[in-house]
Structure 1
Amino acid sequence: MIGMASSVLSFRQLCSGCARRIRVPTAAPAPVWRRPLALGARRDSSPISTVTLAYDLHQPAKPVADKQTSPLIVMHGLFGSKKNNRTISKVLARDLGRHVYALDLRNHGESPHDERHDYPAMAADVANFIRQHGLKEPTLIGHSMGAKTAMTLALQEPDLVANLIAVDNAPVDARISSDFARYIQGMKKIDEADVTRLAEADKILEPYEKDLTIRQFLLGNLHRPTPASKAQKFRVPLHILAKALDHMGDFPFKDPNEARFAKPSLFIRGTQSKYVPDELIPLIGQFFPLFELVDVEAGHWVISEKPEAFRQAVLRFLEPKE
C-alpha cells in the first residue's frame, strides 16, 4: 500500500478479479474504446524524419555515482510541455539522485514542428534523443500522449530502455473525445483575434471549455513570437494537431505476440479516470508481462492532482530490489 491515496496490485492479483467500478473524470475528456486495426497494421508506414527535441535537464544536488547516464526521461501529454513537469522533475532528481530530462515532444513547447504527428514518430524522436545524449538504461515516464509514446518506444526498441512508467493510458486504440477538436476551434479563434492579454484569450476560450483549470492549461501554450510582438499566439501548430487528432488515440502495436517489453513496468491510473478501465488490464499484461499497477485517487491529471502519491509510487518502483 502506498500512502492513503493509492494501492498496488501485481498482474497476477489483477487478473484474478477486476470488479472495481471506475468513475468518470471531471478534468479530462474520456476516451471511447474502439476495435483495433488489423494485426500489425500501421496508420503511416512512411520513413520517419526525426526532430531534435527541446528539453530541460534537472540535475540532483547529490547524484548517485552509477546513475550518471541512466536518467529519467519525462514526457507530457497533448497540449502540454516540459514546463508542466518542472516541479515533479526537480523532486525526482532530488529524491533519486538521478538526472531528469523533461522533454518537449514534437509540435509542442520549444521543439520543432513537423507535419507527421503520431506515436511511431514521437518514439523515434525520443530514441534519437537517447542516442544523441549517450544515455544508458533510461527510465521512461510519460503521461497520456507521453505514456503512449513511452510504451511505443519500449516495444519498438526494448534494448534502449531500462524500465517504463506509464501514467493514465493503455496500449490500445481509442477514439479521442470531441472535446479536443473543440479546444482547437477555440484556440484558433484566439490566434485570429490577436489578443494582447491573457484575460482576453480566456474570455474567447470560455464558450469552448467551462473548466477554468483546463483553460489555464491550454492557454499556457500562448507566447509572443518575437520580443517586439504585442499579440500573443499559440506556440503549438494547431493545423498539424487538428489533422492528427483522429489518430491520437491509436496505438501502433496490435499483437502482443509480435512485440513485448519483458522488463519492469509501472502503470499508474487515476481512479476517477476512464483511460485505463479494468477490462484492459489483461492486455497490458500481455504487452508488458512484468508490470505493476498503482491506483491513485485522482482524475486523468494524476501528477498535478496528487503529486505526492505519484512521487511515492515512482520511488517505490525504482528503489533497488533485494
Structure 2
Amino acid sequence: MPAGRQKLSSCRLWDLNARFLSARHSSCISATMNFLSRVLTTRVLIGKPQPPSAAGARCWFSAVSRLGGVTQSHSAAPSTSPVNLSYDVYDGKEDGVPLVFLHGLFGSKTNFHTIAKSLVQRTGRKVLTVDARNHGNSKHHPVLTYEVMTNDLKHLLNQLHIGKCILIGHSMGGKTAMATALSQPSFVERLVVVDISPVPTSGRTFMRGYIEAMKEVQIPSNIPRSTARRVAEDQLRDHVKERSVRHFLLTNLVEQNGHYSWRINLEAISNHLTDLMSFPKFNTTYEGPTLFLGGSNSEYLSSEDYPEIQRLFPYADIQYIPDASHWIHADKPLDFISSIITFVQP
C-alpha cells in the first residue's frame, strides 16, 4: 500500500461498521466531534453532532438534506451527445496537474473566482472553474442528470487535452465529481468533495418552492439593473424568507436587450429535481486520494454517510472546518484554501 494512503476502515474511522452499520436506516445518529486544538480544519475521529435541520435549511442554497430513496426518477433518457460547457481558466506557472472546480445547484463558475485566483498564486497550478449544463453561461438542455453532467465534464477535459486533474466539487458539483471519479477514474488524480456525500438527499419542498418563486418573477423591461434586482427581490421575499438565499438566487438574473430573465434552466431543474437529490448506484470504487470536506455547522456530511463513503472511496479522509456552514468557501475562504493546498501538496 502506498505511503500515506491508509484505508478509511483501518485508520480514523476504524470502527465505523460496528458503530454505524446497524444505524444506517435509523432516523437519527448521535455522534461526537473532537476538535484537535485550534487548527484550520478538524479531522473526524468518530463523528460530529448534527445541527438542527433549520440551520441546514438556512445555509442550503445548492445542497439538499437527506432522502430515503436511491434510484433515479422519472427523467428522460440521457442524451448521448455532451453539451459544451463554459469555463474560466486561471493560468499558473507550474506544470502540475490542474485543479477543476464544479459548483452546486443554482450556482456558477463565478462562485470560485476568488478561490481560484488565490490557489493559482499559492500553488502555481492552473485552475479551471466550470459552469454545469443549464447553469451560468453553459448551454441549456432538457436532460439534467449526473450521468450526462459527467459526460459533459469528460468532453470538456478531452477538448482541453487534460488527461488528469484534481477534481473539486461543491454540493451538486460534488456529486458530479464523485460520479466522474467512480466512472472515469483515469481522469481524476485526487478528489475533493465539499459538504455533500454519495447518499441520496432531499429538500425538494423548499427547493421546488424556490424554483416556482423564480418562475413567477416579472420585471418591467428597460429599467436599470439595480432597480430590476430590487423588483425581483421584492417578489421573491414572500416565498424565499432568507435574505442570503434571495441574493444567491439573484446572481442568476441577467439582462439582454432591455429584458430580464433567469440564466439557469428552471424547467430542466424542476423536471430533474429528484435526479439531483439522488445519487447513481455504483458497484465500483475510486482508489485515489479523496477528501470529504464539511462545515461543522452543516448537516449535509453526516456520520450516517460514512459506511457508503467507505464502500465507494476506501482511501477517503473526512474533515470538518469549524464554524462553517454548507457554503464553506464563502464562510471560511482561508481555511478552505489551506485545506485544499494541504491535500493537493501533502
TM-score range, shorter chain: 0.7 to 0.9
Q: Structure 1, residues 9-56: CA drift from partner, whole Å, max 9, x if none?
A: 4xxx5xxx33x3121323227513214339xx9966645320111001
Could you tell me how far apart the structure 2 residues matched to 1:32 and 1:192 are?
Answer: 35
Determine which of 46, 56, 59 is the counterpart of 2:91: 59
Matching residue of 1:318: 344
**1:301 partnered with 2:335:** no
Determine which of 178, 185, 190 is the counterpart of 1:163: 190
Q: How many positions carry a matched residue from both structures? A: 300
Q: Give 1:185 shift.
A: 1.2
One-letter identity of the residue aligned with 1:305 = D
Q: Structure 1, residues 258-281: CA drift from partner, whole Å, max 9, x if none?
A: 210000011001111111111111
- Contact kept? 2:204, 2:273, Cα under 8 Å: no
**1:7 partnered with 2:7:** no
Could you tell me how far apart the structure 2 residues matched to 1:207 and 1:76 are?
Answer: 27
Q: Structure 1, residues 179-229: CA drift from partner, whole Å, max 9, x if none?
A: 11111111111147658421101100111111111111101001112xxx2
Matching residue of 1:148: 175
Matching residue of 1:242: 270
Moved more, 266-275 or 41-50: 41-50
Matching residue of 1:109: 136
One-letter identity of the residue aligned with 1:309 = D
Matching residue of 1:217: 248
Could you tell me how far apart the structure 1 residues matched to 2:213 and 2:286 are?
Answer: 39
Q: CA RMSD in A?
A: 2.1
Q: Name the SS of the counterpart of 1:232 in structure 2.
A: strand
Matching residue of 1:288: 313
One-letter identity of the residue aligned with 2:41 = S
- Residue 47 to residue 157, structure 1, CA distance change in 2 (3 Å): same
Q: Structure 1, residues 53-90: CA drift from partner, whole Å, max 9, x if none?
A: 10011123xx12x32xx211101100000111100011
**1:188 partnered with 2:215:** yes
Determine which of 100, 105, 108 is the counterpart of 2:127: 100
Unaligned runs of 5+ in 1: none
Unaligned runs of 5+ in 2: 1-35
- Residue 184 to residue 116, structure 1, CA distance change in 2 (3 Å): same
Matching residue of 1:27: 59
- Contact kept? 2:103, 2:130, Cα under 8 Å: yes
Q: Give 1:246 shift.
A: 1.8
- % identical aligned pairs: 30
One-letter identity of the residue aligned with 1:205 = L
- Residue 275 to residue 231, structure 1, CA distance change in 2 (3 Å): same
Q: For 1:70-89, list aligned pairs within 5 A.
A: 70-89=97-116
- Contact kept? 2:75, 2:272, Cα under 8 Å: no
Q: Give 1:178 shift.
A: 1.3
Could you tell me how far apart the structure 1 residues matched to 2:49 and 2:249 are?
Answer: 30
- Contact kept? 1:85, 1:102, Cα under 8 Å: yes
- Residue 4 to residue 83, structure 1, CA distance change in 2 (3 Å): same
One-letter identity of the residue aligned with 1:54 = S
**With structure 2 as the length reference, what TM-score do the two structures score?**
0.81
Matching residue of 2:293: 268
Q: For 1:33-44, list aligned pairs within 5 A.
A: 33-37=67-71
Moved more, 189-198 or 110-119: 189-198
One-letter identity of the residue aligned with 1:275 = Y
**With structure 1 as the length reference, what TM-score do the two structures score?**
0.87
- Contact kept? 2:75, 2:143, Cα under 8 Å: no
Could you tell me how far apart the structure 2 residues matched to 1:303 and 1:7 are?
Answer: 15
